[in-house]
A and B are shown apart, each in its own frame.
Chain A
Amino acid sequence: MNRRELLKSAGALTAGAALLPFLKTNAWAQSTGTIVVMIGNTINSLDIHRPGTNRPSYQVAVNVYDRLVTFGTKKLADGSLSYDYDKVEPELAESWSLSADRKAILFKIKPNATFWDGSPVTADDVKWSFDRALALGGFPKVQMGAGGFVDPEQFVVVDAKTFRIDLKQPSKLALPNLGVPVAVIINSKVAKANATAADPWAAEYLHRTPAGSGAFKVERWDAGQQLIYVRNDKWTGGPLPGVQRVIIREVPASATRRALIERGDAHLSFQIPNKDAQELALNKKVKVVGSPIDNCLYVACLNYNFEPFRDQKVRQAVAWAIPYEQIFKQAAYGRGVPMWGGKSAKPATAAWPQKFPYSTDLKKAKALLDQTKFKDGFEVPLSYDLGEADWGEPAALLIQESLGKIGIKVTLDKVPGANWRTVALVEKKLPFLLENFGGWLNTADYYFYWAYIKGNLFNASNYDDPVVKKLVDETLHMEKSNPAYEAKIKQMLQKAFDDVPRIPLWQPTLESAMSPKMQGYEFWFHRQVDARSYKIV
C-alpha cells in the first residue's frame, strides 16, 4: 500500500494499530490539506534580518510574517500567475495616504490585525521591526535603503494603529519596498521579552522561533531536512491559505527531486534545472511552469578596464558575434525570453527588459572590428561563476567558438563561487564575464542604478557615462506616471543599445514542476516559495 492509496481511503484513521504513527503526526490527516514542496537548497534561519541568513530562508519571512503591504496577482500570457508590481495591496495596513509634498506616507494598521499570541499589531511593532532591519546591518539594511529608509528617525509612531514613514525625498520605490521580504513586522513584545543585553534585537531567539502574524506558523524545523508550516486560521493579512499544512523538504540532488515529482510523491518541485523543465514539459503527468524573472538578465559584460573594450566598435563587434540562438538552445534549453534581434536600433517603447538590436552576424562583426586598431584580433579570458556553471559553461564555450571566427581568441576562466563576488563585483577586474543580476524592485531605472553606474556593485563593466548617470539620478525616484519618465527611460535604453557594456543573452525564467492537482502557484520577484496561494484540487 503506498501513501497515496492510504490517504485516499477515508477510513485510514481506523485502520488499526499498524498506522499509529499516522495518528501521531497528523500531517497527512487530509489529503487535500497538506502540500509537499521540495527545494534544492537549505533553509538556515527563520529570521531574515540575521547576518548569515541565506536566500532560501527568505521564504520563511514571506509565509510566516506579514508586511504592511503586498502585491496583487496578474495572469501571464501562458495562463500562469505572477505577482503584479504595479498593484500594491494591503497586508497589515488597512489603508495609506501620501502627504501633499509626497515626503511622508501615513499607514492605518488593520484594526483586527493580531499576532499569533493574540496581541494586536501596533505601530510600535512596525517601528521596532524596521529599526531592527537597519540596526542588524547587512543585506536588510541595504534593501531598506533602496526604498529610501536609512535612519530610524524616519519611522514614526503616530498612535497605536497609525504609523508614518518620513522620506528624505519623494520616491516611487518607497511603497513597493515595504512589500519586499525584508520589511517584515515582528511581534516586538515577544521579541523584547526574549532579548538580552548582548542581544538587544533578540536575534538568537527569532533565529529559531518566529513571532509574527503571518498566514502560516512554523510547526517544526529540522535544519537541513525540513520545515513544516501550519496554517494560522486567524490570519488577517489576506484570504486564508487553501492548505492546512505545508511540508518543505530539502532534497539536494535534482535527479532525486525529479524522480519524486514524476512518481507523484511530492506536489511541487520548486526551481528545477532548465533541462529538467524542457523534458518534463513533455510529460503529461507533471505540469511545468516557467515564469520570466522580472528585471533580471543573463548578460556578457565587457570591462572598460580592458583596453580593446574601451572602443565602442569592438564592443558592438562582440555583440554582433555572440551566437544567441545556440546559447538559448544549449544553455537555456529554450526556456527563457530572447533578448536579441530587436527590430529597430532605437527603443520603440520604455518597456524593460526589451530586445537589444543585435543578432548573430559575423560579417557585420568583422567589418566593425576592422575599423578599429584591433583588427588583427586580441586575446581575452572569459570568466564565469562555477556556481552558475549550468548555463555559464555552455554559454562560454559557444561564445569562445564564435568570437574565434572574427579573430578574438577567448580563453575560459572558471571562478569558484566563494570568490566570484570579490573578483567580479567588488574588484571589478575581470575583462569579460557572464553575470546575472536581477532587481527586486521592477523598474528599468533601478536596474540601471545597480548595473550601469560607476562604482555600483553590479556594474562589473566599470561603465561610466555622464548622460546615463544623470538620467538614472532623475528617474530613480520619479513616478512612472510623470510625463517626462518614458522619454528619459528610452534615452537611457538608447545608450545601453549603443554602448553595450552589457550584452543581454536572454531573460531567465524560474522553472517549477508540480502535480496537475496543484493550483495557485504564483511567481514572486523574490523567487521563493509563497505557499499562501497554493491549493490542492
Chain B
Amino acid sequence: MGQLTIILARVLQAVPTIFGIVVVTFLLTRALPGDPAAYFAGASATPESIAEIRVKLGLDQSLPLQFVAYLQDLATGNLGQSISTGQPVATELLRRLPASLELTLFALLLSVAVAIPLGVLAAVKQDTWIDQVCRFIVTAGVSLPTFFTGLLLVYVFYFLLGIAPAPLGRLDMLHIAPPQVTGFLVLDGLIAREWATAWSAFKQLLLPGITLALFTLAPLARMTRAAMLQALASEYLRTARAAGLSSTRVLMVYAFRNAMLPIITTLGMVFSFTLGANVLVEKVFAWPGIGSFAIEALVVSDYAAVQGFVLSMAVLFVLLNLVIDTVYTLIDPRVRIEG
C-alpha cells in the first residue's frame, strides 16, 4: 500500500471515533447542571422572558430533535453560534486556535531545545553533577504550578526589572496585527515584512512560552534520559563501540536515533495536554487562546461552544497521532503503519 492510501485509511478510521465524540459531548453538555436560558436571561428575568430565550436558543425542542439539528449543521460545516461570545463558533475557534497553537508550539520548541540535550547529557554523564542539575530542573518544572511560574516571571521580568513587555496578549498596543496568513503573529509579521510587529509579537510570546516550556520540560527530559540510558546499555551499542566507531557517531547515530521513538511519543502526548492545559497561562498573560474560551463556555453552559471546542480538539488529536505515526516510519524503517 502506498503512503497516501495508508494515511487515507487512518483518516477513515477516525470517523467512528469522532462520531462517538460528537454523541458523547452532546449528551454531556446537556447533562451539565445549570440552565443556559436562565443564565442568559439575566438575574432579574421573569419566567416568560426565560421561556422566550429558551425558544430562541432552540432548547425547547426534545433532545433527539436538537441532536438531529446539530448533525445537520455539522454536515454543512456550521458549528453553531456561541451564545457567550455572540460569534459563530467556527470563527471563534479559527481565531483562537492559532493563538494557542503558536504559544504551544513555541513552548515545545523551547522545551525540546533544552530538554533533549539535557536528557542526553544526563544519561551520558549519569550520576554526575549534570545529572543532578537535570533532576533538579525537572522536579522544579513539574512541581511548580504554571500560573505560579507565570506570575513569578511577570513579577520579576515585567514588574521589577521592566525588561519584558506588559503581559497584555499577543501584541503590544502600539502594533496592529499583520494580515493573517498562518495565524501565527510572528510568522505573519515576517511574511508581511513588518519586522517591528514580528519582533513585538515575539517578545510577547517569550514569557508565556518560557512558563509553558518549564512545565513541559520535565516529561521530555526524563524520557530522553531514560531512553538514552536504555540505548546506551544495549548490545548493539557495545558492538558499535567494539567495532571502533567514533564515540560521537555511536552516541548520535546509534544511541540517539534508537532513543527517539519514545521521545516522539512523549512529545505527542505533551503537545496534546499542553494545548488544553495552558488555560492558566492564557489567563495570566491575557492570551486570547482556546483554553480560556472553552472554560468560559463551560461555566455558562454554552453548548455550541463546548461542542465545537471538543470536536476541534478531537480532530486535532487524530491529525497529531497521524503525524506522529508517519514520523515513526521516517525514524525507524522497521515501523510500519498498518492500514
**Residues of A near any B CB (own CB < 8 A):** 2-3, 18-22, 24-25, 27-28, 36, 42, 44-45, 50-55, 137-139, 141-143, 207, 222-226, 247, 249-253, 255-256, 259-260, 262-263, 265, 416-419, 421-422, 425-426, 437, 450, 457-458
Contact = CB atoms under 8 A, between A and B. Distances in A.
Given A44-B85, A51-B53, A419-B34, A138 B45 contact: yes
Given A250-B286, A251-B168, A21 B158 contact: no
Interface-centre pick from A22, A247, A418 (highest chain B CB count, 10 A): A418
Interface stretch (B3-11, B20-28, B173-181, B328-336): B173-181
A2 B158 CA distance: 12
Contact of B43 (A52, A262, A421): A421
The 6 closest A-B CB pairs, nearest first, are A418-B34, A139-B42, A137-B52, A52-B83, A52-B40, A45-B86
Contact of A52 (B34, B86, B147, B166): B86
B173 A259 contact: no
Contacts of B147: 253
Interface in B1-47: 32-36, 38-46
A36 B196 CA distance: 22
B38 A421 contact: yes
9 contacts: A20-B194, A27-B174, A50-B86, A54-B84, A252-B283, A253-B283, A259-B159, A416-B34, A422-B38
B56 to A, nearest CB: 5
A20 B175 CA distance: 9
A24 B283 CA distance: 28
Nearest to B285: A256
A256 B293 contact: no
A85 B39 CA distance: 29
Contacts of A27: 173-174
Contact of B49 (A44, A138, A422): A138
Interface stretch (B63-71, B210-218, B294-302, B316-324): B294-302
B96 to A, nearest CB: 7
Given A21-B174, A255-B151, A418-B39, A139 B44 contact: yes
Given A36-B173, A139-B41, A142-B42, A44 B84 contact: yes
Contacts of A249: 168-169, 173, 286
Contacts of B92: 223
Contact of B158 (A25, A259, A437): A259
Given A52-B83, A418-B299, 13 more contacts: A44-B86, A52-B86, A137-B49, A138-B40, A138-B49, A247-B173, A249-B168, A249-B286, A253-B285, A256-B167, A262-B159, A422-B38, A426-B38
Contacts, number: 161
Contact of B53 (A28, A137, A250): A137
A18 B200 CA distance: 12
B162 interface: yes
B235 to A, nearest CB: 53
A18 B197 CA distance: 10
Interface residues of B, number: 59
Given A259-B154, A259-B155, A223 B86 contact: yes
A259 B167 contact: yes
A262 B158 CA distance: 11
Contacts of B45: 138-139, 142, 457
Given A51-B41, A419-B34, A256 B154 contact: yes
A143 B288 CA distance: 33
A229 B34 CA distance: 35
Given A255-B284, A418-B39, A422-B38, A28 B173 contact: yes
B234 interface: no
Contact of A42 (B40, B176, B296): B296
Contacts of B200: 21
B33 A416 contact: yes
A253 B42 contact: no
A303 B300 CA distance: 27
Nearest to A146: B44
Contacts of B46: 142, 457
A21 B86 contact: no
A335 B33 CA distance: 34
A224 B293 contact: yes
B196 A21 contact: yes
B292 interface: yes
Given A138-B52, A251-B168, A224 B176 contact: no
Contacts of A42: 85, 296
A21 B162 contact: no
B172 to A, nearest CB: 8
Contacts of A142: 42, 44-46, 49
B87 interface: yes
Interface-centre pick from A3, A138, A259, A450 (highest chain B CB count, 10 A): A138
Nearest to A260: B166
Nearest to B170: A225
B305 to A, nearest CB: 11
Contact of B174 (A3, A225, A262): A3
A143 B34 CA distance: 23
A3 B162 CA distance: 11
Given A25-B176, A224-B293, A450-B44, A252 B286 contact: yes
Nearest to A207: B86
Contacts of B285: 253, 256
